[in-house]
Amino acid sequence: MDCQCGNRHWGFFGAAGLFLVRLDEDGQPTDVVLQHRALWSHHGGTWGIPGGAIMEHETPVQGALREATEEAGIDSTAVDVLTTHVFEHPDWSYTTAIAVTRRTDLEVSATDMESLEVEWVPLDNITSDTPDRELLPSFARSLSTVLTMLHEHLPVSR
């Protein structure tokens, strides 16, 4: 859609993605699912989170989970969404569903042609200027905010 900000955005009803982490035995996040975007896609060849356009009948969280299943083979029944981060434009928004998996063995893979690869990546290896993984620019800009929100909403370890 054409937005008043002067840019075109994917998804007439907005878009959403899943920032999914797995936790260690102490309840601390260790890895995040990243998608290596197909070369033909917007900012192709960069790394980001699985996501895409929200359908008319979906909430942003439903859209994020559906896209993660379609693009990365993620079993949404093994995902607990903790919170969301919404990036608002005048006519459009992108929602990041920040989530943890209950399964340390949850497998992910590229399951459609929108992904070159999908993998669990150690959080320590992800920064906005990661040299071996060029991040999708909007993902790189939001990364510190999303990580802060993740830590603020992590379940308390017992």
The class level of CATH for 15-153 reads alpha beta
Reported confidence tier of residue 5, pLDDT bands at 50, 70, 90? low
Please state the domain extents for the chain: 15-153
Tokens 């035995």 correspond to 25
Other beta carbons less than 10 A from residue 104's beta carbon: 11
pTM, 2 dp: 0.89
Distance CA 24, CA 2 (A): 42
Reported confidence tier of residue 128, pLDDT bands at 50, 70, 90? low
The pLDDT value given to residue 141:
86
CB 98 within 8 A of CB 9: no
93-101 and 51-53 beta bridge pairing = unpaired
Q: Is the predicted pLDDT of residue 157 greater than 70, yes or no?
A: no
